[in-house]
Amino acid sequence: DTGVSQDPRHKITKRGQNVTFRCDPISEHNRLYWYRQTLGQGPEFLTYFQNEAQLEKSRLLSDRFSAERPKGSFSTLEIQRTEQGDSAMYLCASSLARTGELFFGEGSRLTVL
Amino acid sequence: AQSVTQLGSHVSVSEGALVLLRCNYSSSVPPYLFWYVQYPNQGLQLLLKYTTGATLVKGINGFEAEFKKSETSFHLTKPSAHMSDAAEYFCAVRSNTGTASKLTFGTGTRLQVTL
């Protein structure tokens, strides 16, 4: 069990650029979640997948954000035309549907200048 | 909709003292409740969880929490704090019905442990 891995761990970009984060969940986990965490706040739900199906999206996920999990394994979160307000830690988690216990990765920290 | 309130954004205790971190929840259905810990620049690690059954749950690193339905609380305790317990702690609630699988987190409590 190698845990949930995220890449890159840190990303600094200029406003208006696109960024993509990747998440590799624990191999047997069929559910995958994306959360966003800003300084001094708890993680906020963005979206989740069961296998390759995106089952729920938060209203926080504007149309500049898109998430995919094409083969039900790894997932990507893309942010287009980044804004300074997008600066945050983006956390990925995975779980087995029957237990619901989330295992988190170490996160991808985005800084938009 | 579910929500969580963590009272006290910062808690400071002396090493060896009791740790008490407060969490109150709001849920229209019987909740699943979780405590996670986060060390600087790291992801969240599960400390313990309550789903059904025994209301006193024990977790890792000597932590435990008690589910009190009448008080809608799920406070986290540890009898004796250690320097390594200094971290951010998050309480979370999850609905156990329907397709609502996401966790809703509180704003966190930063625990400081002093000598």
d(CA B12, CA B110): 8
Instruction: Write down the pLDDT at residue B27.
Output: 82
Distances (CA, A) of A16 to A5, A77, A86, B96: 27, 16, 11, 40
Backbone angles phi, psi at B70, to 5 degrees: -65, -25
d(CA B81, CA B20): 10
Each residue's pLDDT tens digit, B42-57? 889 999 999 888 899 9
Contact A41 B94 (CB under 8 A): no
Mean residue pLDDT of chain B comes to: 91
Residues in chain B with CB shorter than 8 Å from the CB of A100 are 32, 94, 96, 101
Instruction: Report the SS3 class of residue A87.
Output: coil
Residues in chain B with CB shorter than 8 Å from the CB of A5 are none
Q: Which of A42, A56, A107 sits opposite B90 (nearest CB)?
A: A42
Mean residue pLDDT of chain A comes to: 92
Is the CB of A41 inside 8 Å of chain B's CB atoms?
Answer: yes
Instruction: Write down the pLDDT at residue A1.
Output: 54
d(CA B85, CA B76): 13
In B, minimum Cα distance to A43 occurs at B105
In B, minimum Cα distance to A88 occurs at B41
Each residue's pLDDT tens digit, A51-68? 999 988 888 888 999 999
Q: Which of B42, B45, B99 sits opposite A55 (nearest CB)?
A: B99
Reply yes or no on whether the pLDDT at B20 is more than 80: yes
Instruction: Write down the pLDDT at residue B9.
Output: 93
Reply yes or no on whether the pLDDT at A98 is more than 70: no
What average pLDDT does the segment A19-45 reach? 93
Each residue's pLDDT tens digit, B33-89? 999 999 987 889 999 999 888 899 999 999 999 999 999 999 999 999 999 999 999
Instruction: Write down the pLDDT at residue A61.
Output: 86
CB pairs A-B closer than 8 Å? 59
Contact A44 B105 (CB under 8 A): yes
Is the CB of A22 inside 8 Å of chain B's CB atoms?
Answer: no
Count Cβ neighbours within 10 Å for each residue of A59-73 and write b for 16 or more, e otherwise. eebeeebbbebeeee
Instruction: Write down the pLDDT at residue B96.
Output: 58
Please report how many Cα atoms fall inside a 13 Å half-sphere around the Cα of residue A99, on the Cβ side: 11
Q: Which of A4, A102, A105 sits opposite B103 (nearest CB)?
A: A102
What average pLDDT does the segment B20-34 reach? 89
Distances (CA, A) of A23 to A8, A20, A92, B17: 9, 10, 6, 39
Instruction: Write down the pLDDT at residue B40.
Output: 85
Contact A43 B42 (CB under 8 A): no
Residues in chain B with CB shorter than 8 Å from the CB of A33 are 102
Reply yes or no on whether the pLDDT at A76 is more than 70: yes
Each residue's pLDDT tens digit, A5-19? 999 999 999 999 999
**Rounded to the nearest 5 degrees, what angle is found at the Cα of A60, between the Cα atoms of A58 and A65?**
95
